[in-house]
Structure 1
Amino acid sequence: MTTVLVVDDEIEMRKLVELHLHQAGHHVLHADNGEDAIELVQSSEVDLILLDVMMPGMSGFEVCREIRTFSPIPIIFLTALDAKTDLVKGLKLGGDDYVIKPFTTIELIARIDAIFRRVGINSSNENHRVGIIEHDLVGRQTLVNNEKIQLTLKEYELLHIFINNEGKAFSREQLLERIWGIDYEGGTRTVDTHIKTLRLKLGEQAGKYIETVWGIGYRFEVME
């Protein structure tokens, strides 16, 4: 199991990221400041760091600079900054990638998996087959009965979450937060609309894998 260190001074963001990482099969360590992050890297087996840029005390850039003096561990910046000069600065300091807040679960996990593939670490099962559905994370394609179907990005992300959490019920609010982000201002009807189109594209048999759980939301389960 791979270990990811999450460094962010915002506790809610840290908890949210940790939840997603746990569900993707990663062991998680965390720190709310740069000094503690550096100590953890020096004292623990860490495979990758998710590093917030804007923190009190040492900034993420300063933490990255310090870590690069003794370790080549992959670093992904978590940042609300959209100025290209800031992002370029982070990469020049030794960062491997960046994710701009707000981000979706699938984007974050995909970037982590991409870096692990680059350094030769097998972090997760990237090709899932459930029932008559084959879901390929690397190729970003979905097949039903060996025939490729065209999904929008949001439909793909919904299916990815369902397949990775088979049998688990999700509320509309949980799905909205995971896929559209915590800052999305639309209502939960957006989820219902995308579920409807996803079921249609999966077809009569596979569409039934997505069950409506009355009073809660939706669950993905293959009953065959």
Structure 2
Amino acid sequence: MITILIIDDEEMICEFIEAYLNREGYKTISVHDGNKAIDIIDNNKIDLIILDRMLPDISGEHICEYVRKSYEIPVIIITSKTEEEDRIEGFNLGCDDYICKPFNPMEMVLRVKALIRRCGINKHDTVNFKNGLQIDKLKRIVKVNGCKVELTKTEYEIILLLASNPGKIYTRDQILKLAIKESYEKLDRAVDNHIKNIRKKIEKELGDSKIIKTVYGVGYKFEE
């Protein structure tokens, strides 16, 4: 699974970007200061970086230069600096793309996908879990121990969202926004019903394994 590091001191922006990238099946890590970001880059396999140019401790420019000297990781700079000379300076620093704030989240996703293709990052279309669950993102198929599980479009979107970040808790509202497209299903109870159906279809094939855990008063999370 492709891992994307998001570096921005505004937590809401990180959560915003994470939500849309998780929906597309990417694993995300968010950090809000430059020194911690460098530590994560040095100690984790990062496939792509989304970097805010203005950080409270060290500048985004410094991080971009550091990455360019030591790694072959593509970098997208996001910034409120919108002048042409600012964009030129960003590319001179070694970034691969440059997005001005505010930005459309779907544009961000498309730019990420384009950069992944352009840089030849190996994207695994099939994700396998230790408990026998398999998600083929290209064919939109879910299997358990090699046997296909018939899911509705919405059920597939929900399991993909949860499985993209094991252990992360998604509220019902987040699931409604990120995985449920049909307006007539935009109700909290719809989420509960879909989770119930997914459990019936998938967990019965896994025996005692429970892949979707209810976090009471909050929402749901995926567990391997």
Q: Does the alignment pair 1:77 with 2:49?
A: no
Q: 2:96 maps to what in 1?
A: 96
Secondary structure in 1 aligned to 2:69?
coil
Q: 2:45 maps to what in 1?
A: 45
User: Matches of 1:99 and 1:50 in 2, distance apart?
Assistant: 10
Q: How big is each residue's C-alpha offset from its partner over 1:183-210, in whole Å with a ceiling of 9 and x where there is no partner?
A: xxxxxxxxxxxxxxxxxxxxxxxxxx94
Q: 1:213 maps to what in 2?
A: 185
Extract unaligned runs of 5+ from structure 2. Answer: 126-136, 141-153, 162-171, 192-224
Secondary structure in 1 aligned to 2:70?
coil
Structure ranking higher on relative contact order (CA contacts 8 Å, 6+ apart):
2
Code of the residue aligned with 1:96 in structure 2: it is D
- How far did 1:16 drift? 1.3
- How far did 1:116 drift? 0.8
Change (3 A) 1:215 1:70: closer
Q: How big is each residue's C-alpha offset from its partner over 1:96-153, in whole Å with a ceiling of 9 and x where there is no partner?
A: 0012222222111111111110121254879889xxxxxxxxxxxxxxxxxxxxxxxx
Provide runs of 4+ in structure 1 moved above 3 Å: 122-129, 164-168, 213-216
Q: Does the alignment pair 1:58 with 2:58?
A: yes
Q: 1:36 maps to what in 2?
A: 36
| % identical equivalent positions | 31
User: Matches of 2:77 and 2:9 in 1, distance apart?
Assistant: 13
TM-score by length of 1: 0.58
Pairwise mapping of residues 56-205 of structure 1 onto structure 2 (< 5 A)? Answer: 56-123=56-123, 165=157
Contact 1:113–1:124 (CA<8 Å) still a contact in 2?
Answer: no
- How far did 1:213 drift? 3.5
Contact 1:34–1:60 (CA<8 Å) still a contact in 2?
Answer: yes
User: Matches of 2:186 and 2:61 in 1, distance apart?
Assistant: 47
Change (3 A) 1:124 1:76: farther
Code of the residue aligned with 1:22 in structure 2: it is N
- How far did 1:26 drift? 0.7
User: Matches of 2:58 and 2:81 in 1, distance apart?
Assistant: 17
- How far did 1:90 drift? 1.0
